[in-house]
């Protein structure tokens, strides 16, 4: 879990750094009066690499959430639903959750954790109740034994 969190954080930082670097390069090109064609080429290149960096982050988030959902037996959103999933590249069979898919799956995981937490609290309360009943019965039995 920690490793996944670190991977997501690393990917987020890399994407933000990529954005900052290209913003600096484009601003510098504008200051130096570089040709419009070169600036457009820089902007296209920036768009490609920035999108790729954020897609890597989304892929890490998707892997983490799918693993967590599998551990909790939470069903994944329908793979054929384009609102929940998208393919990053046509030639790669990796589906990545969309923003809506991420929030939907996180909500389902949160609800399952809460349900399991309530269930475990109920079991603890039942155990305590049984322990208290056993203690009372033991005390009564000891009292009856002493009085006889």
Read off the pTM: 0.67
Give the model's pLDDT for residue 115: 84
pLDDT digits (tens, 9 = 90+) for 89-140: 655 667 889 999 999 999 999 999 888 887 777 788 888 889 999 999 999 9
Q: What is the pLDDT of residues 62-76, one digit of tens each?
A: 999 999 999 999 999
Q: What is the pLDDT of residue 4?
A: 83
Average pLDDT over residues 83-89: 81
Q: What is the pLDDT of residue 1?
A: 67
pLDDT in tens, 105-119: 999 999 998 888 877
pLDDT for the residue 90: 56
Give whole-number Cα distances, 62 to 8, 35, 49, 74, 106, in Å.
Answer: 10, 40, 20, 14, 10
Burial class of 68 by CB neighbour count within 10 A (0 to 12, 13 to 18, 19+): middle
Tokens found for residue 127: 């155990």
């Amino acid at each position: 879990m920690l490793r996944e969190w670190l991977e997501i954080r690393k990917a987020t930082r890399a994407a933000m750094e990529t954005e900052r670097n290209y913003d600096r390069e484009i601003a510098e090109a504008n200051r130096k009066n570089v040709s419009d064609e070169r600036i457009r080429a820089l902007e296209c290149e920036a768009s490609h690499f920035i999108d790729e960096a954020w897609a890597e982050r989304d892929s890490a988030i998707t892997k983490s959430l799918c693993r967590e959902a599998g551990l909790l037996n939470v069903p994944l959103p329908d793979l054929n639903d384009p609102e929940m999933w998208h393919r990053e590249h046509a030639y790669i069979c990796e589906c990545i959750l969309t923003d809506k898919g991420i929030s939907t799956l996180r909500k389902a995981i949160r609800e399952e954790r809460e349900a399991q937490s309530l269930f475990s609290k109920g079991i603890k309360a039942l155990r305590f109740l049984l322990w208290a009943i056993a203690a009372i019965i033991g005390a009564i039995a000891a009292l009856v034994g002493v009085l006889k």
